[in-house]
Amino acid sequence: MNLLQKIFISLGTNEGDRLQNLQKAIDVLNEEIGNILTISPVYETSSWGFESEDFLNCCVGLTSSLSPEELLIEFKRIEKFLGRKDKKGDSYQARVIDIDILFYNNEIIDEEGLQVPHIELTERRFVLQPLFDIASNLKHPKSQKTIKELLESCTDASEVILFSRKLDNPFDIHVFSKHNFITIEGNIGSGKTSLAKMIAQDFNAKFILERFADNAFLPKFYEDQSRFAFPLEMSFLADRYKQLSDDISQYDLFKEFVVADYHISKSLTFAKVTLPEDEFALYRKFFNVIYKDMQQPDIYVYLYQNTERLLKNITKRGREYEQNIQSDYLEKINKGYVEFIKSQPNLNVKVIDVSGLDFVRNRIDYLEVLNQILN
């Protein structure tokens, strides 16, 4: 998973329903490019550099994992999708939508067809004013002047008039901040860790990652299940209890909430599959003592993947000790999760079928999963 980059862009339009053009562009950017963090007020200005209808302009702050070169390609595609015609000649012309990269982190790029920061940024009041509204202290990486300073020294005398109507941020519908603790669960290879990481990154959450890779019994278990099942499950239970208890109780002032890629109950689910009846009975006694003291999540998300897809995902991620996992084992694990969920009427459970989704590579699928978690 690539790291998210902080980007500022400008949008402009002077054809058709101008406000709707801006809103459509923002909606598409949110669906296909990244998280919309901030949207400036809209300003109306005369056409700059040519005679035409007045423009509506705004600036947007967003995060994306795409490179500057990839963004340029995607922005041109989106412009065309929204109805922009190919430019004729070198002169300025009216357009349905114009999307320009202003800043990409603090990078300086000077390539043919791609200059970042935007080469004419400091000369355009219709860009500096809306950018000032959302990032006044942002520094230009070349001059080291803030946007406030650049706006104050801008020689562009064009009139920039605040427009009466505002734009909506489509990403604002995803509100996790009212929740303190969210668990993402699922079978082996369901994508629970990837989803939990993405949510933590996008919504400033503290991420609790299960430390299964440090369990010395796990590779041995996959080679000889009958011998190593009980010590494996007991060590997992102890590790999960300690990690969850410690991490949930340690308040992080700079994080909005906690998201974990497992729930303590998975210990019981896996133990029921791997242990013989007498060992499971003993194991359950230990589990019940621990479980009653555990803080329960505000939302328990279970990602369902069909067995065929799970096996493909397991093969693809290439963990050597997982390659001998059989389909019947995965089906038993899924059955165990379902039984647990049915036995917990007080747990706020969201079961999401992600068999036909690729929420890691497809942003629209990711937004659909978020919608199902929060709605």
Give residue 81's pLDDT band: very low, low, confident or very high (50, 70, 90): very high
Assess whether 261 carries a catalytic annotation. yes
**Percentage of the chain exceeding pLDDT 70:** 96
Count Cβ atoms below 10 Å from residue 17 Cβ, excluding itself: 12
Residue 88's pLDDT is: 64
Whether residue 297 is predicted with pLDDT greater than 70 in this model: the reply is yes
Long-range Cβ pairs for the range 238-246 (8 Å, 24+)? 239/211, 239/214, 239/215, 240/210, 240/264, 240/266, 240/267, 241/290, 241/294, 243/208, 243/210, 243/211, 244/208, 244/294, 244/295, 245/294
Q: What does DSSP assign to residue 139?
A: B
Domains 5-172 and 174-374 share a fold: no
Q: Band of the pLDDT at 219, cuts 50, 70, 90?
A: confident
What are the residue ranges spanned by the domains of the chain? 5-172, 174-374
Angle, helix 363-374 to helix 192-202, in steps of 10 degrees: 80
Task: CATH number for 174-374: choose from 1.20.1250.20, 3.40.50.80, 3.40.50.300, 3.40.710.10.
Answer: 3.40.50.300
Out of 5-9, 21-25, 218-222, pick the least confident. 218-222
pTM given for the model: 0.86
User: Which CATH superfamily does the domain covering 5-172 fall into?
Assistant: 7,8-Dihydro-6-hydroxymethylpterin-pyrophosphokinase HPPK (3.30.70.560)
Catalytic one of 17, 261, 298, 353? 261
